[in-house]
Amino acid sequence: MTPARARARRAGVACALAALVAGAAPGDAPRPPGGEKTSETELLEAGAVALQDTEPVDQLSLWLVGFHPLRHDPSHQMEAHHFCRQVNQDFAQCALFDGGGEDARLNGIEYIVSEKLFETLPEAERRYWHPHNYEILSGQLVAPGIPRAAEHRLMASKIGSYGKTWHVWMSEDPLPYGDARLAWSFNRDGEARPELVRERDAKLGTDTRAARESRQDLAARAKPQCGVDVLGLPGDAPPPGVTRRTEGCPR
Protein backbone atom coordinates (compact mmCIF):
# COMPACT_ATOMS: atom_id res chain seq x y z
CA MET A 1 0.00 0.00 0.00
CA THR A 2 1.38 3.40 -0.97
CA PRO A 3 1.70 6.12 1.68
CA ALA A 4 -1.09 8.11 0.02
CA ARG A 5 -3.47 5.16 0.04
CA ALA A 6 -2.51 4.34 3.62
CA ARG A 7 -3.29 7.90 4.68
CA ALA A 8 -6.61 7.79 2.89
CA ARG A 9 -7.49 4.50 4.54
CA ARG A 10 -6.46 5.90 7.91
CA ALA A 11 -8.65 8.95 7.38
CA GLY A 12 -11.62 6.73 6.61
CA VAL A 13 -11.08 4.68 9.74
CA ALA A 14 -10.71 7.86 11.78
CA CYS A 15 -14.01 9.19 10.45
CA ALA A 16 -15.76 5.95 11.35
CA LEU A 17 -14.34 5.99 14.84
CA ALA A 18 -15.29 9.63 15.27
CA ALA A 19 -18.87 8.74 14.42
CA LEU A 20 -18.82 5.97 17.00
CA VAL A 21 -17.43 8.11 19.78
CA ALA A 22 -19.06 11.45 19.20
CA GLY A 23 -18.81 13.23 22.49
CA ALA A 24 -16.45 10.63 23.94
CA ALA A 25 -13.78 13.12 25.02
CA PRO A 26 -14.01 14.14 28.68
CA GLY A 27 -16.39 17.08 28.89
CA ASP A 28 -14.83 18.61 31.99
CA ALA A 29 -11.19 18.40 30.91
CA PRO A 30 -9.66 21.85 30.37
CA ARG A 31 -8.32 22.58 26.90
CA PRO A 32 -4.64 23.49 26.72
CA PRO A 33 -4.02 27.24 26.87
CA GLY A 34 -2.96 28.93 23.65
CA GLY A 35 -4.23 30.89 20.69
CA GLU A 36 -6.24 29.59 17.76
CA LYS A 37 -4.25 28.15 14.86
CA THR A 38 -3.32 30.70 12.24
CA SER A 39 -4.13 30.13 8.58
CA GLU A 40 -0.42 29.61 7.94
CA THR A 41 -0.25 26.82 10.53
CA GLU A 42 -3.31 25.14 9.03
CA LEU A 43 -1.81 25.41 5.54
CA LEU A 44 1.44 23.85 6.73
CA GLU A 45 -0.50 21.03 8.36
CA ALA A 46 -2.46 20.39 5.16
CA GLY A 47 0.78 20.23 3.20
CA ALA A 48 2.27 17.80 5.68
CA VAL A 49 -0.76 15.50 5.41
CA ALA A 50 -0.45 15.50 1.63
CA LEU A 51 3.32 15.06 1.41
CA GLN A 52 4.63 13.29 4.50
CA ASP A 53 4.57 9.60 5.33
CA THR A 54 3.38 9.04 8.92
CA GLU A 55 3.76 5.26 8.93
CA PRO A 56 4.49 4.80 12.67
CA VAL A 57 1.24 6.59 13.53
CA ASP A 58 -0.72 4.89 10.74
CA GLN A 59 0.09 1.54 12.31
CA LEU A 60 -1.76 2.38 15.55
CA SER A 61 -4.74 0.42 14.26
CA LEU A 62 -6.27 -1.14 17.40
CA TRP A 63 -8.44 0.89 19.80
CA LEU A 64 -8.92 -0.36 23.36
CA VAL A 65 -10.64 1.44 26.22
CA GLY A 66 -10.14 0.57 29.88
CA PHE A 67 -9.38 2.20 33.20
CA HIS A 68 -6.13 3.08 34.97
CA PRO A 69 -5.49 3.87 38.63
CA LEU A 70 -2.16 5.45 39.49
CA ARG A 71 0.17 2.95 41.12
CA HIS A 72 1.09 5.16 44.09
CA ASP A 73 -2.23 7.04 44.28
CA PRO A 74 -4.92 4.50 43.35
CA SER A 75 -7.74 6.86 44.28
CA HIS A 76 -6.73 8.78 41.13
CA GLN A 77 -8.56 6.81 38.44
CA MET A 78 -9.07 7.58 34.77
CA GLU A 79 -10.60 6.31 31.57
CA ALA A 80 -7.79 5.29 29.22
CA HIS A 81 -8.05 5.13 25.43
CA HIS A 82 -5.30 2.99 23.92
CA PHE A 83 -4.38 3.24 20.24
CA CYS A 84 -2.07 0.31 19.66
CA ARG A 85 0.16 -1.46 17.20
CA GLN A 86 0.66 -5.19 17.63
CA VAL A 87 4.36 -5.35 16.75
CA ASN A 88 4.48 -9.15 16.97
CA GLN A 89 2.48 -11.85 18.74
CA ASP A 90 4.14 -11.11 22.08
CA PHE A 91 4.60 -7.32 22.07
CA ALA A 92 2.35 -4.31 21.47
CA GLN A 93 2.88 -0.58 21.93
CA CYS A 94 0.14 1.97 22.54
CA ALA A 95 -0.35 5.72 22.60
CA LEU A 96 -2.77 6.74 25.36
CA PHE A 97 -5.37 9.49 25.17
CA ASP A 98 -7.86 10.80 27.71
CA GLY A 99 -10.78 10.41 25.32
CA GLY A 100 -11.86 9.34 21.87
CA GLY A 101 -12.86 12.69 20.37
CA GLU A 102 -10.88 15.13 18.26
CA ASP A 103 -9.87 17.19 21.31
CA ALA A 104 -8.54 14.18 23.24
CA ARG A 105 -5.09 14.74 24.68
CA LEU A 106 -2.10 12.45 24.37
CA ASN A 107 -1.40 11.60 28.00
CA GLY A 108 0.71 8.47 28.16
CA ILE A 109 2.16 5.30 26.71
CA GLU A 110 1.68 1.62 27.40
CA TYR A 111 3.76 -1.37 26.37
CA ILE A 112 2.10 -4.79 26.45
CA VAL A 113 4.00 -8.07 26.73
CA SER A 114 2.83 -11.66 26.71
CA GLU A 115 3.36 -13.94 29.67
CA LYS A 116 6.30 -15.45 27.76
CA LEU A 117 8.10 -12.09 27.51
CA PHE A 118 7.22 -11.18 31.10
CA GLU A 119 9.12 -14.28 32.21
CA THR A 120 12.28 -12.88 30.58
CA LEU A 121 12.19 -9.67 32.65
CA PRO A 122 14.51 -9.27 35.64
CA GLU A 123 12.57 -9.48 38.89
CA ALA A 124 13.39 -5.85 39.72
CA GLU A 125 11.86 -4.75 36.39
CA ARG A 126 8.64 -6.68 36.97
CA ARG A 127 7.53 -4.19 39.62
CA TYR A 128 6.60 -1.79 36.81
CA TRP A 129 4.30 -4.21 34.97
CA HIS A 130 0.63 -4.61 35.87
CA PRO A 131 -1.46 -7.75 35.18
CA HIS A 132 -4.27 -7.78 32.64
CA ASN A 133 -6.43 -10.78 33.54
CA TYR A 134 -8.90 -8.84 35.67
CA GLU A 135 -9.30 -6.10 33.07
CA ILE A 136 -10.27 -8.76 30.54
CA LEU A 137 -12.37 -11.10 32.69
CA SER A 138 -14.28 -8.26 34.38
CA GLY A 139 -15.37 -6.88 31.01
CA GLN A 140 -13.81 -3.50 31.81
CA LEU A 141 -11.41 -3.62 28.84
CA VAL A 142 -13.29 -3.22 25.57
CA ALA A 143 -12.54 -2.74 21.87
CA PRO A 144 -15.36 -0.43 20.72
CA GLY A 145 -16.90 -0.93 17.33
CA ILE A 146 -15.66 -4.41 16.47
CA PRO A 147 -17.97 -7.46 16.46
CA ARG A 148 -18.33 -9.24 19.80
CA ALA A 149 -16.87 -12.48 18.42
CA ALA A 150 -13.77 -10.67 17.15
CA GLU A 151 -13.41 -8.82 20.45
CA HIS A 152 -13.62 -12.15 22.29
CA ARG A 153 -10.77 -13.59 20.23
CA LEU A 154 -8.73 -10.45 20.82
CA MET A 155 -9.23 -10.64 24.59
CA ALA A 156 -8.38 -14.34 24.57
CA SER A 157 -5.03 -13.48 23.00
CA LYS A 158 -4.29 -11.03 25.84
CA ILE A 159 -4.96 -13.40 28.74
CA GLY A 160 -1.78 -13.65 30.82
CA SER A 161 -0.31 -10.43 29.44
CA TYR A 162 1.14 -7.49 31.35
CA GLY A 163 1.37 -3.76 30.70
CA LYS A 164 3.88 -1.06 31.59
CA THR A 165 2.08 2.28 31.60
CA TRP A 166 3.26 5.82 32.20
CA HIS A 167 0.90 8.78 32.30
CA VAL A 168 2.41 12.21 31.72
CA TRP A 169 -0.70 14.42 31.77
CA MET A 170 -3.47 14.38 34.35
CA SER A 171 -6.83 15.40 32.89
CA GLU A 172 -7.43 18.10 35.50
CA ASP A 173 -4.22 19.92 34.55
CA PRO A 174 -4.15 22.48 31.70
CA LEU A 175 -0.69 21.27 30.62
CA PRO A 176 1.49 18.23 31.38
CA TYR A 177 2.95 18.87 34.84
CA GLY A 178 5.68 17.13 36.79
CA ASP A 179 7.08 13.65 36.47
CA ALA A 180 5.60 10.76 34.55
CA ARG A 181 3.45 8.60 36.84
CA LEU A 182 3.24 4.83 36.80
CA ALA A 183 -0.28 3.48 36.29
CA TRP A 184 -1.68 0.12 37.34
CA SER A 185 -4.68 -2.14 36.75
CA PHE A 186 -7.72 -2.92 38.85
CA ASN A 187 -7.81 -6.50 40.12
CA ARG A 188 -10.90 -6.75 42.31
CA ASP A 189 -14.55 -5.89 41.90
CA GLY A 190 -15.30 -2.59 43.57
CA GLU A 191 -11.84 -1.05 43.11
CA ALA A 192 -12.91 1.04 40.12
CA ARG A 193 -15.38 3.80 40.86
CA PRO A 194 -18.77 2.55 39.57
CA GLU A 195 -19.58 5.88 37.94
CA LEU A 196 -16.37 5.69 35.90
CA VAL A 197 -17.52 2.43 34.33
CA ARG A 198 -21.12 3.57 33.88
CA GLU A 199 -20.11 6.80 32.17
CA ARG A 200 -17.77 4.99 29.78
CA ASP A 201 -20.49 2.51 28.82
CA ALA A 202 -23.00 5.30 28.30
CA LYS A 203 -20.64 7.29 26.06
CA LEU A 204 -19.40 4.43 23.92
CA GLY A 205 -22.43 2.15 23.93
CA THR A 206 -20.41 -0.64 25.53
CA ASP A 207 -21.76 -3.10 28.10
CA THR A 208 -19.26 -4.11 30.76
CA ARG A 209 -21.61 -6.61 32.40
CA ALA A 210 -22.39 -8.37 29.12
CA ALA A 211 -18.70 -8.46 28.20
CA ARG A 212 -17.91 -10.05 31.56
CA GLU A 213 -20.51 -12.75 31.08
CA SER A 214 -19.34 -13.53 27.55
CA ARG A 215 -15.72 -13.95 28.69
CA GLN A 216 -16.31 -16.45 31.49
CA ASP A 217 -14.85 -19.22 29.32
CA LEU A 218 -11.50 -17.39 29.26
CA ALA A 219 -10.99 -17.94 33.00
CA ALA A 220 -9.82 -21.49 32.29
CA ARG A 221 -6.84 -20.07 30.37
CA ALA A 222 -5.78 -17.67 33.11
CA LYS A 223 -2.82 -18.46 35.36
CA PRO A 224 -1.87 -16.64 38.59
CA GLN A 225 -0.25 -13.26 37.93
CA CYS A 226 2.12 -10.95 39.75
CA GLY A 227 0.79 -7.62 40.94
CA VAL A 228 -2.86 -8.44 41.59
CA ASP A 229 -2.66 -7.32 45.24
CA VAL A 230 -0.50 -4.21 44.81
CA LEU A 231 -3.08 -1.43 45.15
CA GLY A 232 -4.49 -2.34 48.54
CA LEU A 233 -7.90 -0.84 47.73
CA PRO A 234 -11.02 -2.20 49.42
CA GLY A 235 -12.93 -4.48 47.10
CA ASP A 236 -14.85 -7.70 46.76
CA ALA A 237 -13.40 -10.99 45.60
CA PRO A 238 -12.14 -11.02 42.01
CA PRO A 239 -13.87 -13.12 39.34
CA PRO A 240 -12.64 -16.66 38.63
CA GLY A 241 -9.29 -16.61 36.84
CA VAL A 242 -7.79 -13.68 38.77
CA THR A 243 -5.36 -15.14 41.29
CA ARG A 244 -2.15 -14.04 42.93
CA ARG A 245 1.17 -15.47 41.88
CA THR A 246 3.85 -15.69 44.56
CA GLU A 247 7.00 -17.02 42.90
CA GLY A 248 9.09 -14.70 40.74
CA CYS A 249 7.21 -11.56 41.74
CA PRO A 250 8.92 -8.45 43.14
CA ARG A 251 8.66 -7.98 46.88
CB 168, CB 105: distance < 8 Å:
no
Position 14 confidence tier, pLDDT thresholds 50, 70, 90: very low
Q: What does the pLDDT read at residue 195?
A: 98
Q: What does the pLDDT read at residue 8?
A: 45
Query: Is 0.75 topped by the overall pTM?
Result: yes
Which of 9-23, 26-40, 115-129 ranks highest by mean pLDDT? 115-129
